[in-house]
């Protein structure tokens, strides 16, 4: 009989972001237009970085932006993300994925071939 090895355990870890979701924070405390613009500019830089590395988020919305204790934004939930160059096996033509009120028109109609970095930019503007 051969040596049996223990089954592998696969896991990942994340930082704890303790400040809350942007939409919940904005409901609790008023935010100046300047502060809102600063937050979105920071998130836009994050989205740009992802795009430079060939990743589309496809579900940018206030609930997926967490603020830490210092008020810095963190874009989360890349569950619908996909590489620009390859179509995910999860995504099929005419399948609508995302959050309707923040979706770009091409995403809302299920035209996944037309989903691009512009789609994520639309999500930023929909805030």
Which residue range forms the structural domain that includes residue 100? 22-125
Examine residue 5 and state whether it is found in any structural domain, yes or no.
no
pLDDT at 98 over 80: no
Examine residue 37 and state whether it is found in any structural domain, yes or no.
yes
Query: What CATH number does residue 105 fall under?
Result: 1.10.510.10
* pLDDT digits 0-9 by tens, 81-94: 666 555 554 444 44
Number of domains in the chain: 1
Examine residue 8 and state whether it is found in any structural domain, yes or no.
no
59 is catalytic: yes
Which comes out higher in pLDDT, residue 13 or 50? 50
d(CA 115, CA 98): 12
The answer to whether residues 123 and 103 touch, using CB atoms and an 8 Å cutoff, is: yes
pLDDT at 27 over 70: yes
Examine residue 102 and state whether it is found in any structural domain, yes or no.
yes
- Which residue among the candidates 23, 59, 77, 120 is catalytic per the annotation? 59
Q: What is the percent of the chain where pLDDT is above 70?
A: 65
Examine residue 67 and state whether it is found in any structural domain, yes or no.
yes
Sign of CA dihedral 44, 50, 54, 56: negative
Examine residue 1 and state whether it is found in any structural domain, yes or no.
no
For residue 86, give the DSSP letter: S
């Amino acid at each position: 009989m051969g040596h049996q090895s223990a089954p592998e355990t696969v896991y990942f870890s994340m930082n704890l972001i303790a400040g809350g979701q942007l939409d919940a924070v904005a409901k609790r405390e008023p935010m100046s237009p300047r502060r809102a613009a600063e937050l979105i500019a920071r998130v836009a830089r994050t989205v740009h970085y992802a795009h430079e590395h060939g990743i589309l988020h496809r579900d940018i919305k206030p609930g997926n932006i967490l603020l830490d204790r210092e008020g810095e934004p963190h874009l989360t939930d890349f569950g619908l993300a996909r590489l620009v160059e390859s179509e995910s096996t999860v995504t099929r033509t005419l399948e609508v994925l995302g959050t309707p009120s923040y979706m770009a028109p091409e995403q809302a109609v299920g035209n996944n071939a037309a989903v691009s970095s512009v789609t994520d930019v639309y999500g930023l503007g929909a805030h």
